[in-house]
Amino acid sequence: MDHRLNRPLGANQVPRFGGPATMMRLPSQEDAHGLDACFVGVPFDIGTSNRPGARFGPRAIRAESSLLRPYNMATGAAPFDGLMVADIGDVPINPFNLAESIRIIETAYDDIMGHGCVPLTLGGDHTISVPILRAVSRRHGPVGLVHVDAHADVNDTMFGERLAHGTPFRRAVEEGLVAGKRVVQIGLRGTGYTAEEFDWPRSQGFRIVTAAECWYKSLGPLMAEVRDQLGAGPVHLSFDIDGLDPGCAPGTGTPEIGGLTASQGLEVIRGCRGLEIVGCDLVEVAPAYDHTGNTALLAANLLFEMLCVLPGVPYR
């Protein structure tokens, strides 16, 4: 192991219930300087239409991440043997002003991207994918997108507003942040405002994979197709925890029944290995509805799995 690389604080050094409350108890630093990847929090939830509370997502995910160990036993990934990773803290959003917060987030991510660092975002509600994708695409051009979610999030407006947690991927298309043919949305389900809600993303070239298409089976084959679809070129991975079933992820603001299992969530992320991942976000964890902390723990694990599929991670 390269001793110059950061490593999570070990459970035999300080017990899991102690130590710094950073992601995986990694060292923290002010910005992304010198990092291959960073964990970064966006404690923002004023784009939320139903149950709020995702503002506490980063804090809760970090707290539960203390249970994580540095090696991925299922895949052999050893991210800390190859990448320099730290927790760079939270973006200081303005809790009373959505537009201003979006601007603040965008600036913060421009800075991260400027360091050539891959951001692994602890959300926050899904609105934040817009400023994140703006910064990501400013550096990488329009990106491919692997999007796990119960909802397509392609509304034109909500209450007349163009930025809210149900609109990010409409904006991403309009602003050219994503390449429509290199987008897949996995886990869609539930009720809709119109019968035609999934037509628009399809018209943009998105592949839509509904939850019902996923039930009772491995998503390994799907992800092989996704890798073919997305091919070479930069990819962003946006994972809304409500893509998973409320049975395993109760702590979220807009739960929809009949979702993916946690194992399918793992397969989607593990199936991204080989793609050129340039950014990731995990959004919509609402701790006030997560009485055991297990949704935050699930999110922490998924963020670790995202780290494991970044380019450059060694496997053992």
Q: Which of residues 76-135 bind a second copy (CB under 8 A)?
A: 76, 78, 89-98
CA gap 159, 307 in Å, rounded: 36
Asked if residues 201 and 186 have their Cβ atoms less than 8 Å apart, the reply is no
The interface region with a second copy, picked from 112-120, 136-144, 177-185, 291-299 by CB under 8 A, is 291-299
> What is the total count of residues that contact a second copy (CB under 8 A)?
103
User: 144 or 153, CB closer to a second copy?
Assistant: 153
15 binds a second copy (CB under 8 A): yes
Asked if residues 154 and 147 have their Cβ atoms less than 8 Å apart, the reply is no
Q: Per DSSP, what are the bridge partners of residue 41?
A: 90, 122
User: 232 or 257, CB closer to a second copy?
Assistant: 257
The interface region with a second copy, picked from 62-70, 105-113, 135-143, 233-241 by CB under 8 A, is 62-70
Over the window 159 to 178, marking each residue x when it contacts a second copy by CB under 8 A and - when it does not, the resulting string is xxx-xx--------------
**SS3 state of residue 132:** helix
CA gap 298, 27 in Å, rounded: 22
Q: For residue 158, give the DSSP letter.
A: B
Cα-trace Rg, the chain: 18
Closest CA to 278 of 117, 82, 79: 117
The interface region with a second copy, picked from 137-145, 176-184, 272-280, 283-291 by CB under 8 A, is 283-291
Asked if residues 302 and 239 have their Cβ atoms less than 8 Å apart, the reply is yes
Q: How many CA atoms lie within 13 A of 53 on its CB side?
A: 17
User: 230 or 237, CB closer to a second copy?
Assistant: 237
3 binds a second copy (CB under 8 A): no
Interface pick for a second copy out of 59, 103, 138, 139 (rule CB under 8 A): 59
Instruction: Please give the residues from 216 up to 275 whose contact with a second copy meets the rule CB under 8 A.
Output: 216-218, 245-248, 250-251, 254-259, 261-263, 265-266
